[in-house]
Structures are given as structure tokens and as C-alpha cells.
Amino acid sequence: MFEYAPAPESRDLVDIRPSYGLFVNGEWVDSLGDERDKTINPASEEVLAEFSLASEADVDRAVSAARKAYESVWGRLPGSERAKYLFRIARIIQERARELAVLESLDNGKPIRESRDVDLPLVAAHFFYYAGWADKLGYAGLGADPRPLGVAAQVIPWNFPLLMLAWKIAPALACGNTVVLKPAETTPLTALAFADICRQADLPPGVVNIVTGAGATGQALVDHPDVNKVAFTGSTEVGRMIARSVAGSRKKLTLELGGKAANIVFDDAALDQAVEGIVNGIFFNQGHVCCAGSRLLVQESIETELLDALKRRLSTLRLGDPLDKNTDIGAINSAAQLAKIKSLSEAGEQEGAERWSPSCPIPDKGFWFPPTLFTGVAQSHRIAREEIFGPVLSVLTFRTPAEAVEKANNSPYGLSAGVWTEKGSRILWMADKLRAGVVWANTFNRFDPTSPFGGYKESGYGREGGRHGLEAYLDV
């Protein structure tokens, strides 16, 4: 393996305040409660900033601000004017992209290569895309003059903090809704930076409100009687709770939840490309990806060859400082997530699967987990059934296409799947049979604002992205 000199991105680009309030009605306000928490850099455990755990009263205040903004300004604004605000936001994000990428890597632990080259470009593109829809909603096939819903309550996860914010806020605003958004408690900083972007764009007060906090804040938000729409991205477990608590309320609900994607490699696949796709599928963003290809299904005849190539490739991955431009694998987002990954990996060993990791120096401070492979995995093993949400790949084998489909679909989840083969008709046959919302053929983990994303079965309902993404925010 080559030695690389460190190439860290400068931290000077970001200006983190020691303490943050809530962003309500276009202003920074102190929480009405006194609960606070700290967000840390998972790569060093250094405290980055303090933030409020918003109380029920805070949530109520934010929802009132959003309601008022909806009724007095945003809900009445012509689509063409809403569009221009969103274009403005997209431009400011592009202008501040490097700063936001560094901030994201600091708070989340993901490599700067990813926050800079994947997250931020997609964030800006998402706002650009939905900006263009704002004055064209009558052409979306959802009625001649589709109406917004009102106030949207949005709760997002920590794996792609700013990107998930974009996926939620851009379509909501384009359709004429106002929002109250709660970022995850381990990654609030880019959402708080986004509040500042709203001010730079002169977005009318109350159109976007950001309340920080943990589960209790999220619950107060989705349960608030004056919200018309609930959008959640996160675990299936929490999604279930939200679906249950929203039941009967008539709030429109979309859920983007967990996954356990099969990445299926046939014996005729272009092997080197497949190896890259497998690596991207499960080690992108430390495997903190709901659509990660966490189950590798490899055709029996090429198992040895593929695993040898995969292990060789894993040995070249560089784990370490997220701000270093050479880094492939960053830090695990939190101590709690690291404990979960460790515990499921131990279960994998206990249940009889064989564990392998490349030799990989682990930094002294922070939360880290080496890229890990399990072979000899049975479908009944916990590591084949449960979402690990970490850099852990479970390898299973199959002989026939029918067996591959059977195993791939043998999951309560149905978010994504991958197929690797050079045979076109087989790709289409597989794509047809796989019960998953996104099928990547000879590629993996591609995202685009024009392309609908979302799950089957217990991976949730509703789509984000594309024309389909509008439906979640319109009264249709």
C-alpha cells in the first residue's frame, strides 16, 4: 500500500458558535426550557458546540410561527416567487459548499471526500430541482391546481444531515408548505447553519423553523395537533412508533426507514467493477446508509475469486481523520452507534459466521470500526436480518437466479437492491422480481434529485425525489 502524506482540509473555513438557540420565526431564540446537550466531533470526541433540547413549548412556538407564515405569506405567494427563494438558497449553498462540507464532516465523522463530492453537490442540486417545480405544479399530474398541505413536521437522521434536510425542505417549500424541522441530536450543526442561509436568502420569517433536540422533541413535533404533514427518515422502529401515533389524525405521513439491501453478483459480472460497487455499497459513509448493500449475495461458482479480490481491495481502504482528503472511511457517528455495530458483529461471530477485517490501525480517540466482512452467513443470522448501519458486510451465496431473488426478498425491508451481471435480460428479470424501491444494476448508491427514492414493505412509504416527491407535500 502506498504511503500518503496527510492532506487535511482546513477547519478555518467554519465558524462554530459555542452555543446555539433555536431558529424560530426567522430569529435565534433561547429555548423556553433549560435542557441542553453537546454535539461532539466523533473523530476526536472534542465538544463542538452546545445546543438546546427543545421542549414541547418550544415546538408549539415553532409550529405557530410556521402556521402564521403559511397563512400570511408563503401559502399565498405565487409559485414563481417561491421558486426564486429556492434558487437563491441553492446558490448560497453552492457558494458556501466547502464550509458546509467541512462542518458536516466535523459533526458527522464522514470523510471530506464524501461530504464535498457527494453530500453538498446533491444538496444544492435538490434545491435547484424543486425550485423549478414551484411554479409548474399544475403540470405534475396531481391535479390542475394542487394545494399545499400547510405546516410540515420533519424529523431527519444523522447519516446525511444536510442532504436529508434538503430532501425534506426543498419539496415542502416548493409546494407552498412551511416547515418545522428537527435535525438529529448528534448532528445539528449543518441544519443550524442552514438557518443562517435562510436569513441570507431573506426567506420570510417562519417559513423554515429549526428546533434541535432528541426523541422527545421529535415526538412533540410529530404529535403537535396543528401540523398537517409528518415526514420522517430514520429507523423502522421509530417509524412504526410515528405511524402509530399519527394514526387517526389525518396528518399526511411519509416514512423513509431502514433497509437490508441485497447486492447480488452473478458469475458473469465484470468482477473489478462489482468489487468497487460492493465497496461503495457498504463502506460508503461508514455503512451509515439506509440503502447500503449490507448483504452480498454471490453466485457460488465465483465466491472464492470475488472474496479474494474484495479482501485485496479492502486492504487498501484508509481509515482515519475525516478531514483528510485521502480518507476512505471516517468515524462512526456516535458511541451509541458504535456499541450497536459491535454488539451485532459479536452476535455474528457467536452465531457461527466467520469474521474478517483488513489490518487497519484505529486512532486512539473517537469512534471507529474497521471495514468488516462476514462469510458463512446463514439467512437466519441476525447479521443477515437486522440493519447494522455500519461498515459490516454479510456474505451469502446462491446458485440460481431464482434462489438469489428468494434470498434477496427474504426480508421485512425493501428499500434497495443491487444486481451485477453482463446479461441485459437477466438484469431486467431480476429488477422485475426484486421487491425494493430502488434497484441499482451494475452500479450502487447513486442518487439524484430527479430520481424517486423510497421503500417497499417495512422500509416505509412515499417517495422523495422527482415528480413523485411532490405528492408527499400536496393535498391530492
Interface residue list for other proteins (CB under 8 A): 125, 141, 236, 239-241, 243-244, 247-248, 250, 255, 257, 412, 427, 431, 436-443, 446, 448, 450-454, 456-461, 463, 466-468, 476
Q: For residue 343, give the amino acid letter.
A: S
Q: Work out how close the CB of 167 gets to other proteins at its nearest, in angstroms, rounded to a whole number.
A: 15
Closer residue to other proteins, CB minimum distance, 41 or 445: 445
Active site residues: 256, 290
* SS3 annotation, 282-329: HHHHHHCCCCCCCEEEEEHHHHHHHHHHHHHHHCCCCECCCCECCCCE
Buried b (16+ CB within 10 A) or exposed e, 427-438: beebeebbebbb
The distance from CA 113 to its chain's CA centroid, rounded to whole angstroms, is 17
Closer residue to other proteins, CB minimum distance, 228 or 333: 228
Cell of 274: 462489482
Q: Work out how close the CB of 71 gets to other proteins at its nearest, in angstroms, rounded to a whole number.
A: 21
Q: Work out how close the CB of 407 gets to other proteins at its nearest, in angstroms, rounded to a whole number.
A: 16
Task: Tell me the C-alpha to C-alpha distance, in Å, between residue 352 and each of 216, 397, 414.
Answer: 38, 16, 26
Closer residue to other proteins, CB minimum distance, 100 or 255: 255
3-state secondary structure of 15: coil
Taking alpha carbons only, the member of 429, 439, 356, 441 closest to residue 392 is 356
Task: Tell me the C-alpha to C-alpha distance, in Å, between residue 72 and each of 26, 59, 252, 318, 440.
Answer: 15, 20, 22, 52, 44
Q: In angstroms, rounded to a whole number, what is the distance separating the alpha carbons of residues 50 and 84?
A: 34
Closer residue to other proteins, CB minimum distance, 232 or 367: 232
Closer residue to other proteins, CB minimum distance, 77 or 97: 97
Which sign, positive or negative, has the C-alpha torsion 163, 164, 167, 173?
Answer: negative
Q: Work out how close the CB of 174 gets to other proteins at its nearest, in angstroms, rounded to a whole number.
A: 17
Q: Work out how close the CB of 385 gets to other proteins at its nearest, in angstroms, rounded to a whole number.
A: 15
